[in-house]
Structure 1
């Protein structure tokens, strides 16, 4: 049932090359989920999320600080090793310092025919953020038009918005099934759904999601749900870790708060006669990344609601090593979780670290939860 999504994720590069050949269109890699995919789909360009390969970084040291997060260094290594050689362009929206450096170094050492840095406002709570971003989106659209040699009309924008909104809507419908006492899909399977949506043509992905939705309501996992866990924090596409927690330790991730998870698709665009303002509003209003969750911390309330809606019993908080935004964000989250009496495990991630020590800590965490349930 989930084989197609797993194959898309595992064979992402083969998929992109094949799509490019059969469509005759361009492929662009993006470094941050604040990049407006709607405009790219309007231009018939395939946006592909640039993620790491979970490999030792043996080529990045001259190009990026060793104290930058392992994810940003892994991402840059993929570019330096030409794993994304099929890309016609790269783009990024204003993001954290570490991933910005990965983008800048990639652009310098593996230049593509198109490169664009989108000044997405960090202070999305500012009264000027929407008009500012709308103006930046206008310039981005014009740059894409010049690159592709085609005019992007309002009808094109409507089509792009519909493609991306449909994907968000279908993913959310599937994720809502995870509220059930016995969810019909695991956290690992849910991760494959979202990750594959970030690197395939969403029109094909939407068709696969619709077919999946027809089958899921009758499905049952072939194992007990165990402890209902939430995972949140830094970027996370660590499939082996999720598999270990669920298949070896016997718990189930029923929800997440990641840019490789729910934060990517949770809210849709609200129709507006001004299409660019519609898109701008969506990215300003989305569940914020820690780099944009200030001065008021709005994610805390969102996380609490997810815990309640999905009957979460414990939370695993992860932080990519040296990840400054999440390192500043996590103490406030832990304080809220402690106040609600939610057991919490903090793990510092490194994309190349072995699973053994994580397994020991997760098993101890789950055993603590089980002991507390006895009293």
Structure 2
């Protein structure tokens, strides 16, 4: 089995991987993270594995007593994994004040999931453009560090933090190298394979992930896919790790297409920027999370991510943009009209799709094919 296939295996069997990690690291503990704003380097420096909490894309009814039905399907799907006992390998959970819906899922998990987890909270500033945001998050990072130290019963030294930062920065650089390969006319890796790569990295030990990324780079050097890449698409918007949806785009339609780049928290938004080392490690980590490509819940008053997304679209030679929103996701719902207008003013056509726990593949494929046809007519 090659590295590309291993990414998929870990994505599909994350519980097995994490249980195996705990056997190899009997003194280690595992925290489930509700958001990519959790400063994972700090936990990692203390011997804690951080793993992202995701859903299963299955219809569920376990969350109804605990969370509003009008909250996004993603947060309900995540909570369902805890209520159904599917994440019983966790020792703790952590939220980073990302959005109201996930915060509700986090609090419901803390109150109702057994065995009762250790609960951590990092208050990521809502206004990342505020001049005091870095100072505030530096203080939050210090508190998080102390909480981890008390929990693990040992001090986190500067050397520990430096090692963690090095591992995470290497991880980011390696994934960016693989993303660069997607600029090719016929990319050696599909959008689905890249999703497996990025999300598996959010689930597993970054050191192990780095080993696989290096193997993948060797494999991709001479890899040629026997497929028509078709229309070059960008996907942007809410969290999306829906295998069926991305498979539909790349292999389930009459008209071929390939997802060549993304801007979402299961993609570039989570890993693109590195920690720039400095004497104050907590401040360096805080600067990275404040200055990374922001979630729309925090991207105001200026919309920084629009220009960054446009830069991606131009560099990866994107022909059309799919804007995705989890149903009831307020931050993206408010963001998308301006985002679509911005792209179209810059010569890129967009098409909007609303995601639920499961997606209507037949309906979506018809709609996306019509969008691709319109792009082809423009070229003619």
Q: TM-score normalised by the shorter chain: which range applies?
A: over 0.9
Of the candidates 232, 236, 255, which is equivalent to residue 228 of structure 1? 232
CA distance in 1, matches of 2:121, 2:216: 36
Shift of 1:113: 4.0
Which residue among 339, 347, 350 is the counterpart of 2:345? 339
> Which residue in 2 is equivalent to 1:175?
179
Are positions 1:278 and 2:284 aligned together? yes
For 1:82-161, list aligned pairs within 5 A.
82-110=85-113, 112-161=116-165
Q: Distance in 1 between matches of 2:62 and 2:308?
A: 39
- By how many angstroms is 1:86 displaced? 1.1
Q: Determine helix, strand or coil for the equivalent of 2:297.
A: helix
**Which residue of 11, 15, 18 corresponds with 2:17?**
15
CA shift digits 1:186-231 (9 cap, x unpaired): 1001000001000111111101101111221211111111100000
Q: Distance in 1 between matches of 2:295 and 2:73?
A: 18
Contact 2:294–2:305 (8 Å) recurs in 1: yes
Is 2:271 the counterpart of 1:268?
Answer: no
In the TM superposition, what are the counterparts of 1:1-375 in structure 2 within 5 Å? 1=2, 2-24=4-26, 25-110=28-113, 112-249=116-253, 250-374=256-380
How much is the aligned-residue C-alpha RMSD, in angstroms? 1.0
- Determine the C-alpha separation between the residues in 2 that align with 1:151 and 1:366: 55
Q: Deviations over 1:316-356 (max 9, x none)?
A: 11100000000011011101111122121100110223312
- SS in structure 1 opposite 2:35? coil
Q: Any stretches of 5+ residues in structure 1 without a counterpart?
A: none
Distance 1:338 1:295 in 2: 21
Give the structure-1-normalised TM-score: 0.98
SS of residue matched to 2:87: coil
Deviates more, 1:213-222 or 1:310-319: 213-222
Q: Distance in 2 between matches of 1:295 and 1:343?
A: 25
Q: Aligned with 1:198: secondary structure?
A: helix
Q: What SS class does the counterpart of residue 367 from structure 1 fall into?
A: helix
Distance, in Å, in 2 between the alignment partners of 1:288 and 1:360 is 32
Equivalent-residue separation in structure 1 for 2:179 and 2:203 (angstroms): 19
CA contact (8 A) 2:232 2:320 kept: yes
Could you tell me how far apart the structure 1 residues matched to 2:362 and 2:296 are?
29
Runs of 4+ in 1 over 4 A off after TM superposition: none
Distance in 1 of aligned mates of 2:117 and 2:264: 31
Report the TM-score, using the length of structure 2 for normalisation: 0.97
SS in structure 1 at match of 2:125: coil
